[in-house]
Structure 1
């Protein structure tokens, strides 16, 4: 993975983790993820960022190993909690943890969108080697058809960007860093993973709740944002909306 995210580490909690939108989207992920944590003891998190999810999982009494490619992200995470945080690249994750076994592999908020199709296919082909029998993956990914983003670019009259996610890759600006980004609809992930994993569930994350870059606009509209949150929870079981949301959660189980 090319991007290091060291620059993003400085402001990540301010621009996402601690925003109202970030908290709402993360709560949606936790609510759905919690349904798939029975019989889980050991969890490997990839692209853990500043450690927010690892800390939450540890508080639920799971054994968590959390990794990120960015030493700065890991540095911030370690300043928050004394957990097993480790610098590691997604593309070499199975080699890094060769001989170890985990019940769940977790990736939140688009970390896997940094992988090309060939890299992602290789990731799925190799990852079952570090998962226990019937081990699962819980992956939060950005799709190609996000309606909020299309509406945003339409209001800005940036017409060439409306369909940008449908390109093979785009350069996304993430807190001071240019990141090559690939977008995948749920069907893309199902097809890439089907040789090794079966699909258990697909849930929209952020169909009504907007992307975090709109948090400033909604800062003084907490009532309206709360209304959108209630709408979001009402459509949580409508899986086909996932490809139009800001993110989606897909649960895969080892064959």
Structure 2
């Protein structure tokens, strides 16, 4: 797999001038600071759910045994693409764990998130990298219709369901495609609609009405946010022609969601077994289709 990816990963020798968010902001001449001008229009009363979660996010997810195992599934594929000196876009960066991983590999990272709490957490975590990691309070919608700012990038990543909160996935996918250089990659890790692990958890607790909530047409409302759970088939349909679908892998088919953390702590050998099964079979149907998350891989053509 790594060899087939590497054969098509080159970028042009003469790269267009990059535009990022420096100390003075970016945009068309005279536009002022794009990040500041949009924040009040896009974020007010929108992301308080993740603001509330930011303080304990690493403790409850990132630093747990299951959280590390699940993130490693994404990093295994991410690491086949990255090279020192690349410039990547991190969409919905959360607490900045992926940006930190990329920066340690010598990658320049531009991260965005709609949650002010997550942005502050990501900035603290990556403060030691200086200008190598820039974190901005921006929602996905800020990228739509503003092709003159941000990019071009050698690749982009959106991890652990951030895109499930996008208001219009087709628009966001098109906006990402316009910012990738030819040959650049896009890894999108989304929450899927069919999750037997979640059914088991909910049904055992008598929460029958919630068991199949991800399969509801039109998505669900959660803490003031609207969340959709697109199937892999739908993602393929809305993908613009500039993004070539390469492959998909499960991120949480054998490995359970992190609310099973206490159970897996009591059974560490079982966790290792499930992790091995995920690594061996996670790309084989139907496991991506029944995973808590699935990782879709695209390349800009």
Common fold by TM > 0.5: yes
Structure-2 residue corresponding to 1:107:
158
The 10-residue stretch of structure 1 (161-170 or 33-42) with the greater mean CA deviation from structure 2: 33-42
1:156 & 1:233 partners in 2: Cα distance? 30
Does structure 1 conserve the Cα–Cα contact (< 8 Å) formed by 2:85 and 2:106? no
Instruction: Determine the structure 2 residue equivalent to 1:69.
Output: 114
Question: Are the counterparts in 1 of residues 155 and 186 from structure 2 also a CA contact under 8 Å?
Answer: yes
Aligned-pair distance for 1:97?
Answer: 6.6
The TM-score normalised by the length of structure 2 is 0.77
Residue 233 of structure 1, aligned match among 279, 286, 295: 279
Identify unmatched segments of 5+ residues in structure 2.
1-41, 128-132
Residues paired across the two proteins, number: 249
What corresponds to 1:165 in structure 2?
214
The 1:220/1:97 distance shift into structure 2, 3 A limit, reads farther
Does structure 2 conserve the Cα–Cα contact (< 8 Å) formed by 1:145 and 1:165? yes
CA shift digits 1:45-89 (9 cap, x unpaired): 011011100000111111111111112111111212223111111
Alignment pair present for 1:141 and 2:190: yes
Deviation at 1:237, TM superposition (A): 2.9
The answer on whether the counterparts of 1:3 and 1:180 sit within 8 Å (CA) in structure 2 is no
CA contact (8 A) 2:195 2:290 kept: yes
- Map 1:113-152 to 2 at 5 A: 113-116=164-167, 119-152=168-201
Map 1:85-96 → 2, pairs under 5 A: 85-94=135-144, 95=146
Greater radius of gyration (CA): 2
Q: Which runs of 5+ in 1 are unaligned?
A: none
Deviation at 1:240, TM superposition (A): 3.5
CA distance in 2, matches of 1:184, 1:110: 11
Residue of structure 2 equivalent to 1:198: 244
Conserved 8 A contact 1:202-1:249: yes
C-alpha displacement of 1:178: 4.6
Q: Residues of 2 paired with 1:97 and 1:80: CA distance?
A: 29
Q: Aligned residue for 1:9? A: 54
1:239 positional shift: 4.5
Q: State the distance in 1 between where 2:185 and 2:271 align.
A: 32
Q: CA RMSD in A?
A: 2.0
Q: Deviations 1:65-123 (Å, cap 9, x if unpaired)? A: 1111112111111212223111111111253871521011110000000024xx10111
